[in-house]
Amino acid sequence: MSVSEREPKAAAPRLFRMDGLVALVTGAGAGIGRMAAASLAEAGAGIAVTDRDGAAANRVAKELGRNAAAFVIDVADEAAIVAGTRAVLERFGRIDVLVNNAGIARRQSTVEMSRETWDQVMAVNLTGLFLMTREAVKPMLAQRSGSIVNIASIMGHVGGGLYPNPAYHASKGAVVNLTRAWACEFGPCNVRCNAIAPTFVNTDLARPMLSDPTMRAKLESLHPLGRLAEVDDLAGAILYLASPASAMVTGHSLAVDGGWLSR
Ligand SMILES: NC(=O)c1ccc[n+]([C@@H]2O[C@H](COP(=O)([O-])OP(=O)(O)OC[C@H]3O[C@@H](n4cnc5c(N)ncnc54)[C@H](O)[C@@H]3O)[C@@H](O)[C@H]2O)c1
């Protein structure tokens, strides 16, 4: 039988199942991370709900039920990352998916920004993502399978222009390229690395912009789809990149942006 005559392995919903797999999500106590944890849990994965805010992580783990557990990990703290990853492995026995979600924004112009503020953004958005990946990828490389999903941003692909946000642009641009570098580095061990690049999402992080009606209207007008994102708009993209549905996709940055980057 030739390859083209074989029964197609369609069964789309099965490709998105994650039963028996374990996902570690950073910054999972709120916003996009909470939604990512819920989406992967619904697909059957065990979830390590990690956040620097222990109470928030506990709340989310409770919402998700028996197959989830909370861990306090501040991604700006290397020792917490090393100890937290070890605790996740002790609890679940494996890590198959890492969602590098924790991130912050400090919207200041270059001339206003202190070295301390710059370092703060880099410590969470870039160095934290590096350290978290360094620890969580070790079991993935050993088991020769895994998927890393980095939460980048449309601001990692463009210079913005509506207001200055240089540290955020720099950190997210680096995440987009680190995603490619890790795809090359980890690919031979069957560990994939992709990113999503969301537009403005209705969470605490974007609240300062979205609560200003003039800014909000301007931002909406820049989206071909005419609206900003809700966290649920990202669920499908995260599940796709985390699950076997994207088995041949690596190094990609998937815009979930209502067309922002297409203009
Ligand atoms: N909201 C948006 O418009 C938007 C757009 C594009 C990309 N993103 C990215 O999505 C990710 C999540 O953003 P969000 O909007 O859900 O933010 P959010 O502020 O609503 O939630 C962030 C969560 O991360 C946690 N967190 C913050 N710093 C942490 C640290 N050092 N260690 C561990 N946890 C930490 C917080 O406690 C909180 O639970 C970020 O990387 C952000 O840059 C957000």
Q: Where are the domains of the chain?
A: 10-258
pLDDT of 9 over the 60 cut: no
Ligand 1 probe mutation, 171, 178, 201, most atoms within 8 A of CB: 201
pLDDT-based confidence at 182, cuts 50/70/90? very high
pLDDT above 90 for 174: yes
Which is it for strands 191-198 and 253-256: parallel, antiparallel or unpaired?
parallel
Q: Is 124 near ligand 1, meaning CB less than 6 Å away? A: yes
For the Cβ of 239 lying below 6 angstroms from any atom of ligand 1, the answer is: no
CB atoms within 10 A of CB 142: 11
Q: How far is the CA of 47 from the centre of ligand 1 (A)?
A: 18
Q: List the catalytic residues.
A: 168
Residue 15 to residue 43: CA distance in whole angstroms: 10
CB distance 151 to ligand 1 below 6 Å: yes
Of residues 213, 134, 200, 210, the one with CA closest to residue 168: 200
- pLDDT at residue number 10: 55
CA distance 46 to 40: 8
pTM above 0.85, yes or no: yes
Q: Which atom of ligand 1 is nearest to the CA of 29?
A: 39
Dump pLDDT digits (tens) for 100-127: 999 999 999 999 999 999 999 999 999 9
Distance between CA atoms of residues 177 and 251, nearest Å: 8
Residue 203 exposure: Cα atoms within 13 Å on the Cβ side? 24
Task: Say yes or no: CB of residue 43 within 6 Å of ligand 1.
Answer: no
Residues 10-258, CATH architecture: 3-Layer(aba) Sandwich (3.40)
Interior angle at CA 43, CA 39 and CA 45, nearest 5:
95
Q: Binning pLDDT at 50, 70 and 90, where does residue 257 land?
A: very high
H or E segment at 116?
A: helix 115-122
**pLDDT above 90 (res 241):** yes
Q: Could you tell me the CA-to-CA distances from 249 to 63, 105, 177, 240 in Å, in that order?
A: 31, 29, 15, 10
For residue 103 and ligand 1, the question of a CB distance below 6 A is answered with yes
Rounded-to-integer distance, Cα 47 and Cα 38, Å: 9
Instruction: Please report which confidence band the pLDDT of residue 160 belongs to, taking 50, 70 and 90 as the band edges.
Output: confident
